[in-house]
Amino acid sequence: MSFSNDQKEQLSVNAVTTYIVRSEYMVPSIPVGDKAPSYDGHITLYKHQNSKKKDMVGNIPVQVKGTTNKKILQKKEFPVKLIDLKNYYEGQGVIYFVVYIYANAATKIFYRDLTRLELKDILRNPKGNKQEVTIDFIEIDEDVDDFRQILVNFNYHRDFQTKYALDIDPTDIEYENLVFKWVGKRNDPVDFIQKNGVISYIKKGELYIPYKRFEANELQLKEVSQKELCVKSKNSRAYMCMSRAIDNIVTIDIGEYNQLQLVLDINSTKTSLNSKLIGSLDDYIDVLGFMKDFLDNKEIWIDRIEFKIGENHDIEKSNQINDSFDYFVELKQILEYHKIPTNFDFYKLNESEQSEINRLYNTHQTKNKVSVEKFIINSYPVYTVANEQGCVDIFDESFIGMVKVSIDIENKDTNMSVFCAIPANEWEKFASINFDLIVYSVVDLDYSNQEVYGCVSMLALRLVGAFDATGNMKFLYTAKKILEILPEQDGLNGVYRDFNILQIIKRERDFNLEEMKKILTIQESYKDNELITLGALILLGSNADARAMLENGTYGGSEQMPILNLLK
């Protein structure tokens, strides 16, 4: 039976789609009748089953060709247009399917994962005429999960095979830098490599330069035996680890992120320990503590069997590890003192964030002139005061003697609460706050000075705003205590104090009759004052009138006032 071109396309696309949908990790999108140049569609890869957007790994471009020419069966070769190959190179490669169609419409699928590296070699040494290149193909694996690994590796290598990297001649670089890259089940790459080979790169600095795909017959593949072991140094905790043995070399990966790699040569008893710092502060301390113990005591236990380590180890490296261990232990103590959670991923901090942490660490080493410093550590604000005795957190009980600072107001030294300097948007971000210390800082100030009176009133308002942002009642109670410490005054400052107490009460409960009368009296007495008029409308629940007042522009400058939160 002969088939038209349309029938061949229909049958070949159906064959590939039917094969791909057998995997719950892949979704084909290969429309029949597609007229796009060079490509027929794509296959979407997912990390997990059920094809959720958040699990998407990437789209793999595909081309599907149907044929009744038995050459693909006999020689596993198929001609591909040169212009298409050039387009695939520009587009980071392609998975090319050739589907042989039998007379009864049954099919057999062949494929070729054409990475940029292989396309570069094909275009450089084409096999065929000037318009087409004959390419070798592979019969597709019956197990669709094995084929999925082909696509996973294809997608992985696209990131490394940039045109810039491919333009570099790898023959100019030392061959000893060869690196093999592969993605899949960590414990068994051999089966995959035997079927599909493995792509190699030459590493130059941080750049991986594509070298070649090695076939299995070009490599010496050795049997790797694996075993779970318990490993510990003299004083460290015990780690459950996976070991790999090749010939007489045993490699043991230690740590949740495999931060440590212990290599033992059984014949020579030579031992080496390689490390990388990754994870949280505890992970850093864990790894460095193991290494410190390893180098200090020159012994290690593997499945309760003691191994002695040679005396000749790197003294300079040992000192570096000791210094790093001491630094991170002390840094953790500093962060815990400031109530900063230490379970964040220290490894992922950028240069600016690491610099801020180092600045805090160095401030704790300072014991000279008095200075107030502000830090942002993992999004938490930290304020410290350094003096001759050391460095203390602004909310530390021992700071009680310094919570009132002297400032110059009209050429006169005047005490002020140090907490008045903290901006409104930072109060809700503190990891921990000593509210009693805040109240203590505003006791016995000179409230005849209107600037002091106004600054303390603003401190109370900032705490009200922090309550609105967090729902933490301690902010509200502390704000109310501060306002009650402020003496009653005639004039606007006294009215603002009363209004601020009333807006706190409104957040706690409904007004009683006396409080309602007080609001109305103030509103009438200050009917020409737009701020008081706006506040009275909000306190009385006349929200529509208050919004109209804001929208009409008859009152401005109130964007940061917590009383506006009562409109929400």
Q: Are residues 442 and 475 in the same domain?
A: yes
Alpha-carbon gap, residue 303 to 295, rounded angstroms: 19
Greatest Cα-to-Cα distance within the chain, rounded to the nearest angstrom: 106
pLDDT of residue 559: 45
Q: Are residues 23 and 101 in the same domain?
A: yes
Number of domains, the chain: 4
Q: What are residue 177's phi and psi, to 5 degrees?
A: -90, 15
DSSP E strands, 186-224: 198-204, 207-214
Q: Which residue has the tokens 């193991």?
A: 290
Q: Is the pLDDT of residue 176 over 60?
A: no
Q: Which of 194, 221, 248 is the last residue of a domain?
A: 221
Q: Are residues 209 and 239 in the same domain?
A: no
Query: Which residues are 67's β-sheet partners?
Result: 100
Q: Are residues 213 and 230 in the same domain?
A: no
One-letter amino acid at 260 equals L
Q: Is the pLDDT of residue 130 over 80?
A: no
Please say whether the beta carbons of 209 and 168 come within 8 A: yes
Q: What is the mean pLDDT of residues 469-495?
A: 91
Q: What is the mean pLDDT of residues 264-288?
A: 75
Over the stretch 324-367, which tens digit does the pLDDT of each residue have?
889 999 999 999 999 999 888 887 888 899 899 999 998 888 76
Q: Are residues 282 and 366 in the same domain?
A: no
Q: Which of 176, 203, 221 is the last residue of a domain?
A: 221
C-alpha triplet 324, 390, 342: angle, nearest 5°: 45
Of 161, 216, 152, nearest to 185 by C-alpha is: 152
User: Does residue 235 form part of some domain?
Assistant: yes
3-state secondary structure of 226: strand
pLDDT of residue 483: 93
One-letter amino acid at 146 equals D
Alpha-carbon gap, residue 103 to 398, rounded angstroms: 91
Please say whether the beta carbons of 445 and 416 come within 8 A: yes
Q: How far apart are the first and last CA of the chain?
A: 75
Q: What is the mean pLDDT of residues 230-243?
A: 80
Q: Are residues 394 and 271 in the same domain?
A: no
User: Does residue 343 form part of some domain?
Assistant: no
Q: What is the mean pLDDT of residues 129-143?
A: 89
Of 192, 182, 187, nearest to 141 by C-alpha is: 192
User: Does residue 349 form part of some domain?
Assistant: no
Alpha-carbon gap, residue 392 to 372, rounded angstroms: 10
Alpha-carbon gap, residue 382 to 432, rounded angstroms: 10
pLDDT of residue 558: 47
Return mean pLDDT, the chain: 84
Q: How confident is the model at residue 482 (pLDDT cuts 50, 70, 90)?
A: very high
Q: Is the pLDDT of residue 382 over 50?
A: yes
- Looking at per-residue confidence, does 184 or 337 come out higher? 337
C-alpha triplet 400, 403, 409: angle, nearest 5°: 155
User: Does residue 216 form part of some domain?
Assistant: yes
H-assigned helices in 229-366: 281-297, 315-337, 351-363
Over the stretch 388-442, which tens digit does the pLDDT of each residue have?
667 888 898 887 777 776 666 767 778 888 898 899 889 999 999 999 999 999 9
Q: What are residue 191's phi and psi, to 5 degrees?
A: -60, -45
Of 128, 101, 117, nearest to 158 by C-alpha is: 117
Q: Which of 159, 186, 206 is the last residue of a domain?
A: 159
Q: Is the pLDDT of residue 224 over 80?
A: no
**Distances 494 to 341, 377, 401, 453 between C-alpha atoms, Å:** 41, 39, 29, 9
Of 237, 202, 200, nearest to 215 by C-alpha is: 200
Query: Domain containing 126 — which CATH number?
Result: 3.40.1350
Element of type H or E holding 165:
helix 163-166
Q: Are residues 106 and 209 in the same domain?
A: no
Alpha-carbon gap, residue 92 to 160, rounded angstroms: 10
Query: Which residues are 65's β-sheet partners?
Result: 98
Q: Are residues 95 and 177 in the same domain?
A: no
Q: Are residues 299 and 367 in the same domain?
A: no
pLDDT of residue 128: 63
Q: Is the pLDDT of residue 121 over 70?
A: yes
Q: Are residues 468 and 414 in the same domain?
A: yes
Of 405, 424, 423, nearest to 415 by C-alpha is: 405
pLDDT of residue 391: 82
The two structure tokens encoding residue 484:
């009650």
User: Does residue 412 form part of some domain?
Assistant: yes
Q: Are residues 531 and 391 in the same domain?
A: yes
Alpha-carbon gap, residue 355 to 309, rounded angstroms: 37
User: Does residue 188 form part of some domain?
Assistant: yes
The alpha-carbon radius of gyration of the chain (Å, integer) is 36
Q: Are residues 188 and 215 in the same domain?
A: yes
Please say whether the beta carbons of 61 and 81 come within 8 A: no
User: Does residue 339 form part of some domain?
Assistant: no
Among the ranges given (201-210, 349-358, 367-376), the one the predictor scored with the smallest mean pLDDT: 367-376
Question: Which structural domain, as residue segments, surrounds residue 58?
Answer: 5-159
Please say whether the beta carbons of 53 and 66 come within 8 A: no
Please say whether the beta carbons of 236 and 289 come within 8 A: yes
Q: How confident is the model at residue 485 (pLDDT cuts 50, 70, 90)?
A: very high
Helix 281-297 vs helix 315-337: crossing angle, to nearest 10: 150
User: Does residue 352 form part of some domain?
Assistant: no
